[in-house]
Amino acid sequence: MTTATTLPNFSDEVVTEAKIHYVDLPGGAGKAALLTLDNGRDHKRPNTFGPASLASLEAALDEVAARDDLVAVCLTGKPFIFSVGADLSVFRQLTSHEQVLEIGRLGHRVFGKLASLGVPSFAFINGASMGGGLEVALHCTYRTVSAAAPAIALPEVFLGLIPGWGGATLLPRIVGPDNAVTVIVQNPLTFNTMLKPKQAVALGVGDVLLDGADFVEQSLAWAARVVTGAHTVARPEATDEEWDAALARANAVVAGRTKNVPPAPRRALALLANARTASLADGFAAEDEALADLTLSPELAASLYAFDLVQKRAKRPVGVPDVEPAPVTFVGLVGAGLMARQLAVLVAERLGIPVHLIDINEDAVTKAREGLAADLQARAAKGRLRPDLAGRLQQQITFGTDRKDLADADLVIEAVVEDLAIKQGIFADLENIVRDDCVLASNTSSLSVSAMAAGLRHPERVVGLHFFNPVAVMQLVEVVRAQQSGDRAIAAAFAVTKQLKKSAVLVVDSPGFVVNRVLIRLLSEVMRAVDDGTDFATVDVSLDPLGMPMSPFALLELVGTGVAAHVVGAMHSAFPDRFAASPTLDALAAAGYRTVYDAASGAPAINPQVAGLVPSSAAAPSVDDVRDRVLRALAEEIGLMLDEGVVSSAADIDLCMVLGAGWPFWLGGITPYLDRSGISEAVRGKRFHDGAPDATG
């Protein structure tokens, strides 16, 4: 079937070809066609589907469908990769509803042929299989999964799309509605979790898990048993109760994770509900409509921008000096507290080198050593760390009280208490111990790194390396360039961050750097609303329309009122005009309330005693006023950070907020949202991005 196309000419598509081989199934089960998806590139450029790739698969399927000597058609991928789905560059070029509908229908038509060959079809999922690259497998009658496949997922909802080439309609039929909710909604909204092969088979996404080594041969043998009837696969139909429970769970997940703000999760829910009763054709048509609406939404533009920030900008950070960094073979840590212990494990694990921690006395060292051992054992017990690796890490990480043991270190990171004089004293002392080429880094969250370096013989060796808690989870490291930092030290900081598999953003030494400055401005603004008489509960829901992962007081609880009061105070000293000191926050901290929530009833109910601390005022800002104030404050603060040159562009601020604070993709971090809601122009007289947000800006 050919119709006049409305699609642009995607001349830059890297075409994934479907190559046909004919094979005899073992045990005389008959002849099968084996289609291999391969774009001819190495594993760094995975198989994807754009229009030309779909055309290649369609031609192959038409060719095998025309034969009458086959008992099965099998589909597999190139080494390491089955297919990672739609070519996103195609989606960026679509400009009309009609065009998206056409792409949606094209995928449905081509993939649908796998279900109408007259013989069973098999997907042999040999490697990564995501999005459209899993949907093509769902159109097959059966799926085998290699134990070596790194990830299997439908991440569309995470990106702001829906599984629109059949996934939303087919998956609940194959795995049941509850498992479909897990794969389509819950996992994407939980840090974009992907399935390991074993999990994929446990959920029913795959029918059988086969060993990695001769996976295709084993898959052909399994297919032969299915074709001859020696093996059958049952797919029980879900009951009404199962459907009701699954949809209720999905609603709760979406409301909890997104406050029902971004459109994609809700459209995915609607498609799942529709799949309960709709025919396949109707289900697919609903997918086409949803995909067309979402593709042209501002949320998707922001999401694709955030995706580029994380996939591209984070991997090629801006501002890395063109200097060859010296190798790091031994790292010292001063302080053996919460952050230092986590940093020690990260360095020992990712760099495979010895790490030595210094604390103040034997008691602190014993506490740190025992704490580290307990952390590692807990991880091992949960299956998150191989027991032999836990043992190895414990040998690599040593403790002591004598700074002279750091004489051979290539890098020393200080993570002692947040006190400038103590940190200055440590660096001054270390200068007399370490080699001249040793880089000294501070993990401070709020102090001036330039002040720490002042007075040293070699201030050019000092940088900030601001890691976030929990270190294993948070992807961001702010690499802080102090006034005197030299290129060698900055290059070394970037190199080490990369080896640690973290994403570095270069920030100029200034109060709060990026993430804390933005978060503390937000906190100080919401506390100002409380001080002005808006009740806590109203303030806490004021940002719900943004769908933030955490309400303001959930953030406050995470930080703790004591630390928050201290940091708001520090920022107030630095920028008294903009960061208001909050009497309520100070009172909370002084009275020992760590949180404003009622521990007995659980968040987000406000503790009545806390609520009683502030008299409400008739002139208090309304919920909309509070949100408006916060957003204006953020636009002002971010604008000033750009004017001051704290980072090189708005893209770096968004990258920091996505990776350092978990701000959502659909807000694009924050500046695309401030632009499209008109706040940027109202506050600054101009937008942060001239046109569509650009991750390379």
State the nearest-atom distance from the C-beta of 425 to ligand NAD, in Å: 7
Which one of residues 95, 239, 469, 622 is an interface residue with ligand NAD (CB under 6 A)? 469
Which one of residues 337, 400, 533, 569 is an interface residue with ligand NAD (CB under 6 A)? 337
Residue 434 binds ligand NAD, judged by CB under 6 A: no
Contacts of 211 (CB under 8 A, 6+ apart): 146, 147, 218
State the nearest-atom distance from the C-beta of 413 to ligand NAD, in Å: 9
Q: At 25, give phi and psi (nearest 5°).
A: -70, 150
Stretch that binds ligand NAD, among 185-193, 440-448, 583-591, 659-667 (CB under 6 A): 440-448
Residue 448 binds ligand NAD, judged by CB under 6 A: no
Residue 497 binds ligand NAD, judged by CB under 6 A: no
State the nearest-atom distance from the C-beta of 73 to ligand NAD, in Å: 54
User: Taking CB positions, which residue lies at the least distance from ligand NAD?
Assistant: 337
Residue 338 binds ligand NAD, judged by CB under 6 A: yes
Go through 257-276 and write b for each residue having 16 or more CB atoms within 10 A of its CB, e for each that does not: bbbbbbbbbbbbbebbbbbb
Q: How far apart are CA 14 and CA 63, in angstroms?
A: 23
Are 206 and 145 within 8 A, CB to CB?
A: yes
Which one of residues 87, 349, 359, 675 is an interface residue with ligand NAD (CB under 6 A)? 359
State the nearest-atom distance from the C-beta of 505 to ligand NAD, in Å: 15
Go through 608-640 and write b for each residue having 16 or more CB atoms within 10 A of its CB, e for each that does not: eebbebbeeeeebbebeebbbbbbbbbbebbbe
Q: How far apart are CA 335 and CA 364, in angstroms?
A: 9
Residue 422 binds ligand NAD, judged by CB under 6 A: yes
Are 317 and 341 within 8 A, CB to CB?
A: no
Which one of residues 339, 385, 434, 589 is an interface residue with ligand NAD (CB under 6 A)? 339
Reduce the secondary structure of 555-581 to three states and give it as a string.
HHHHHCHHHHHHHHHHHHHHCCCCCCC
Q: Which of 635, 638, 647, 627 is nearest to 679 (CA)?
A: 635
Q: How far apart are CA 234 and CA 56, in angstroms?
A: 32
Q: What x-and-dash track marks residues 598-627 binding ligand NAD by CB under 6 A?
A: ------------------------------
Stretch that binds ligand NAD, among 204-212, 221-229, 333-341, 613-621 (CB under 6 A): 333-341
Residue 209 binds ligand NAD, judged by CB under 6 A: no
Stretch that binds ligand NAD, among 85-93, 155-163, 247-255, 464-472 (CB under 6 A): 464-472
In one-letter notation, the amino acid at residue 645 is G
Nearer to ligand NAD, 319 or 562 (CB): 562
State the nearest-atom distance from the C-beta of 335 to ligand NAD, in Å: 3
Q: How far apart are CA 82 and CA 36, in angstroms?
A: 9
Q: What x-and-dash track marks residues 396-415 binding ligand NAD by CB under 6 A?
A: -------------------x
> Pairing between strand 503-508 and 411-414?
unpaired
Residue 360 binds ligand NAD, judged by CB under 6 A: yes
Residue 335 binds ligand NAD, judged by CB under 6 A: yes
Number of residues that bind ligand NAD (CB under 6 A): 23
Residue 416 binds ligand NAD, judged by CB under 6 A: yes
Residue 444 binds ligand NAD, judged by CB under 6 A: yes
Residues, the chain, total? 697
Q: How far apart are CA 122 and CA 208, in angstroms?
A: 11
Interface with ligand NAD by CB under 6 A: which residues? 334-340, 358-360, 364, 415-418, 422, 426, 443-445, 467-469
